[in-house]
Amino acid sequence: MFKFVKASAILLAGLLFTGAAVAQTKVAVVNIQAAIMSTEKASSKINALKTSSEYSQLQNSAESIRSEVQKMAEDAQKNGVTWSEEKKAEHQRKMNFKRSDFETAVKKLRAMEGQAVQDLQKDQLPKAKAVLEELIKERKLDLVLDATAAVYAGTNANLTEELVKRLNAAK
């Protein structure tokens, strides 16, 4: 019985010390990529891309092709019953070509957007890390986790918004 009480006391003391150690550990989370993409600089770069002539032309082309495919589909639905098998096959082939053109245009648009995001992340990451290090020192944090990996983080534990504010101020 004495051994059980002694073992229980040791176990309880260990739990208390562990709890005390955890209570003293300051933990926060941050999403660096989201912070970078939420800055004014990111917004202006993305807006500049979307208003560039190359992007606008490609977007207009994709929209035009999409409209053509839709009209072709409506035409096939409306008049397809009277068409010969050859005409149906030819129409379907043309629609497939147009769909392929549309998909290609959309892929180009997404590639342009992806490249802009990648360039922005590459350019801003060193600044974001430096600002984050300042935040860590100021708040005397022991551990900072990626916010996307956290199950829960209170508003005081999330550094992302503060990181955005400081990056905007730093310009």
Nearest 5°: the CA angle 105, 110, 115 is 125
pLDDT at 25: 84
pLDDT band at 6 (very low <50, low <70, confident <90, very high): very low
pTM, rounded to two decimals: 0.71
pLDDT band at 3 (very low <50, low <70, confident <90, very high): low
Q: Which domain holds residue 14?
A: 2-170
pLDDT digits (tens, 9 = 90+) for 114-159: 999 999 999 999 999 999 999 999 999 999 999 998 888 888 899 9
The dihedral over CA atoms of 96, 97, 100, 101, expressed in degrees to the nearest 10, equals: -140
pLDDT at 13: 47
**Spatial distance between the Cα atoms of 123 and 131, rounded to a whole number of angstroms:** 14
CA 60 from chain centre, in angstroms, equals: 25
Comparing 4 with 93, which gets the higher pLDDT?
93
Q: Measured between alpha carbons, how far is residue 25 from residues 73, 113, 122, 140, 147 in Å?
A: 62, 40, 31, 10, 17
pLDDT band at 24 (very low <50, low <70, confident <90, very high): confident
The amino acid sitting at 16 is L
pLDDT at 150: 86
pLDDT band at 70 (very low <50, low <70, confident <90, very high): very high
Scan for tokens 């708040």, then name that residue.
Answer: 139
Q: Measured between alpha carbons, how far is residue 79 from residues 76, 84, 88, 93 in Å?
A: 5, 11, 10, 16
HEC letters along the chain: CHHHHHHHHHHHHHHHHHHHHHHHCCEEEECHHHHHHCCHHHHHHHHHHHHCHHHHHHHHHHHHHHHHHHHHHHHHHHHHHHCCHHHHHHHHHHHHHHHHHHHHHHHHHHHHHHHHHHHHHHHHHHHHHHHHHHHHHHHCCCEEEEHHHCCCCCHHHECHHHHHHHHHHHC
Residue 107 has pLDDT above 80, yes or no: yes
60-64, 100-104, 154-158: least confident range = 154-158
Count up the domains in the chain and report the number.
1
Mean pLDDT, residues 79-92 = 93
pLDDT band at 4 (very low <50, low <70, confident <90, very high): very low
Q: Tell me if 164 sits within 8 A of 42, measured CB to CB.
A: no
pLDDT band at 75 (very low <50, low <70, confident <90, very high): very high
Average pLDDT over the chain reads: 88
